[in-house]
Amino acid sequence: MLDTIISFIYGLDPWLILAVIAVTPFGEARASIVYGLAKGLDPAAVFFASVFLNILVVIPLLLVLRQKMIMDIIHKIMGRKITRLVEKNRKKFEIYEELALFSFVAVPFVGTGAWTGALLSTVLELNQKKSFLVIAAGVLAAGIIVFLGTNGFLYILK
């Protein structure tokens, strides 16, 4: 069974795999850039495809997460403790909301990408249009950092 799954994945087009990685919450542009460069795909195309697809997924995320039913589920999952923490620090965050959201998304660590940025924007009820632009800028910044770091690492290995 595992052999069948592995052979199926190896049979897929690398660009398709890159696209799937770029839009998933656990991969995003960070992982798709690393994957594409490691596969030897065209570096410029890898960067632009990864960043574009990761930004593109933010639009439906922001729209879906704002639905009342989804918001209720988010608040139930996050619990009262997190909700109180968010409410307590809302004033501080509102002063620097764009910078804070940008910084959060731009840091190239697992769990700080566009998906989590959209969730954070929803929980804090930030302006959707501003949030989209700030998250997009964060994805671009993180993409540049990962792209340069991965290229440097692969250069050293060669």
pLDDT tens readout for residues 47-88? 999 999 999 999 999 988 878 777 777 777 766 666 676 677
Structural domain boundaries enclosing 129: 2-157
- Cα 51 to the chain's mean position, in Å? 9
Which pLDDT belongs to residue 143? 96
Which pLDDT belongs to residue 76? 74
DSSP 98-132: HHHHHHHHHS-STT-SHHHHHHHHHHTT--HHHHH
In the chain, what percentage of residues exceed pLDDT 90? 47
The pTM of the full predicted model, rounded to 2 decimals, is 0.82
**For the chain, how many structural domains are there in total?**
1
Which stretches of 12-158 are DSSP H helices? 14-23, 28-38, 43-56, 58-65, 68-95, 97-106, 114-123, 128-157
